[in-house]
Structure 1
Amino acid sequence: MTAEPRYSATRRRFLARSVAAGGLLCAPAVLRGQGGAAWRPYFPDLGRGAILCDTASRRLSVWSVGGAVHRAYPVTLGPEPIRTGRSEIAARIAGPSWAPSPAMRRRHPDWPGFVPPGPGNPLGRHALYLSWRFHRIHGRPRHGAPSPPAGCIALCDAAMAELFALTGEGMPVVLV
């Protein structure tokens, strides 16, 4: 006999809203225009904007330059423990290509060595490359797509397009 998963009240409300909205568990902008001072423990100011990803709750928050706009999104994490700490956006790429890291190639020798931009790309339509090598925040081409690569944080493509528009190179990123 299998036990039914137990979700927190917050998670149950999120799932209910997601299903009511058409079953999209990656609904963009779960919170709009909220966020108060949640950034203060992690960033001195919002002069360059900021991204905060809470890996335990699988939630990414972004504040635009100057803090005028705040959005929060549910995220999917890769299969391995994700690195935490301070980073920044090193590059913003629309139509990214993808190549597995050397460690991924050793674990999955059958994977392709390179995937160009387009429908089969696991990074979706937009990617934010962090200053840590092989770590990215990127889209997922479709709901139910395979987990993101190790070291990655993925959002559905619609949410990623919105996040991409709010960010810039050099924006600080904190993963906790």
Structure 2
Amino acid sequence: MMKSVLLAAALLGVFSTAALGDDRYVSRPPVVLSPDLAAPWIMQLSGSGNVRPVVYQRPVIVQQQRGLFAPRAVRRAPAAQQVSAINPGVPVIRGQIEPQFLPQMVDYQTKEAPGTIVIDTNNRFLYLVMANGKARRYGVGVGKPGFEWAGVHKVTRKSEWPDWTPPSEMISREAAKGHYLPARMDGGPENPLGARAMYLGSTLYRIHGTNAPWTIGSAVSSGCIRLRNEDVVDLYERVKVGTRVIVI
């Protein structure tokens, strides 16, 4: 009798468990996929009927640049380069200037009186002679091959943010290369004469600033002597009309 009761109870438990199992999946929860298909597909099970998908933020991959071995995709485009006048085999990155061309006080033995300007075109330096065997030295850009010159002049005029009227010969010369210059350009940051200009004698030559400071230390001009804008402003304040200028 007891065995029959136990057997009946066991069978009842088995059928009840199966029934409960079937009831659990009578109403199956919705399967929701993340709308961001770039993220892992996340299946969420819920019987609420109001399921908010989980969206993962896309990973941000940061690639380190290591010189020339940086991945091609993240390697920066090379900057425009200018060949160094001091070290011909070493390119100078556009926007930079070699340290020796920055203004500095140097020893300078000369018979010229203090206040005289001496421009050493071969070495790309301008010296403002000071007392006691000293000079204030600036890096300069000078005339390109075929436009070099030497001589002695005086500063006959000074101008702040000068306008620029290219000589007709320059306009014709550049037009032959496919470069068309304006007949006149107002003074300003884009003007090739830069922030200041000091005119030499009755010539077309000037000591002036530039809108291309990376050319300092190079032979690139049509004969003018160019300095960085911050340097030409400094020199301009120290120089008077009538100053003797020696170009060697």
TM-score, normalised to structure 2, is 0.54
Q: Secondary structure at the match of 2:203?
A: coil
* Structure 1: distance between partners of 2:96 and 2:174: 32
Q: Deviations over 1:94-148 (max 9, x none)?
A: 1101011121022124210001011220000101111041100111124336976
* Structure 1: distance between partners of 2:241 and 2:220: 22
| RMSD of aligned Cα (Å) | 3.1
Q: Secondary structure at the match of 1:105?
A: helix
Partner of 1:85: 151
Query: Given the alignment of the two structures, is residue 72 of structure 1 paired with residue 137 of structure 2, yes or no?
Result: yes
Query: Given the alignment of the two structures, is residue 171 of structure 1 paired with residue 240 of structure 2, yes or no?
Result: no
Unaligned runs of 5+ in 2: 1-83
Q: Secondary structure at the match of 1:168?
A: coil
Unaligned runs of 5+ in 1: 1-6
Displacement after TM superposition at 1:150 (Å):
1.1
Q: Tell me how many residue pairs correspond in the alignment.
A: 154
Q: Secondary structure at the match of 1:106?
A: helix
**More strand by proportion, 1 or 2?**
1
* Structure 2: distance between partners of 1:91 and 1:68: 28
Displacement after TM superposition at 1:36 (Å):
3.8
Specify which structure has the bigger relative contact order, considering alpha-carbon pairs within 8 angstroms and separated by 6 or more residues: 1
Say which one has the larger Rg.
2
* Structure 1: distance between partners of 2:220 and 2:163: 14
Displacement after TM superposition at 1:67 (Å):
7.1
* Structure 2: distance between partners of 1:144 and 1:158: 13
* Structure 1: distance between partners of 2:161 and 2:244: 22
Distance change (3 Å), C-alpha of 1:145 and 1:75: closer
Query: Given the alignment of the two structures, is residue 28 of structure 1 paired with residue 102 of structure 2, yes or no?
Result: yes
Identical-residue share of aligned pairs (%) = 25
Please say if residues 75 and 154 of structure 1, whose CA atoms lie closer than 8 Å, have aligned partners that are also in contact.
yes
Please say if residues 148 and 154 of structure 1, whose CA atoms lie closer than 8 Å, have aligned partners that are also in contact.
no
* Structure 2: distance between partners of 1:83 and 1:125: 24
Q: Deviations over 1:66-118 (max 9, x none)?
A: 67973101111132422201111111111101011121022124210001011
Map 1:1-176 onto structure 2 (within 5 A).
Answer: 11=86, 23-25=96-98, 27-29=101-103, 31-32=104-105, 34-37=106-109, 39-40=110-111, 43=112, 45-46=113-114, 49-63=115-129, 70-79=135-144, 80-109=146-175, 110-144=180-214, 149-176=221-248
Partner of 2:9: none
Please say if residues 84 and 175 of structure 1, whose CA atoms lie closer than 8 Å, have aligned partners that are also in contact.
yes
Please say if residues 213 and 227 of structure 2, whose CA atoms lie closer than 8 Å, have aligned partners that are also in contact.
no
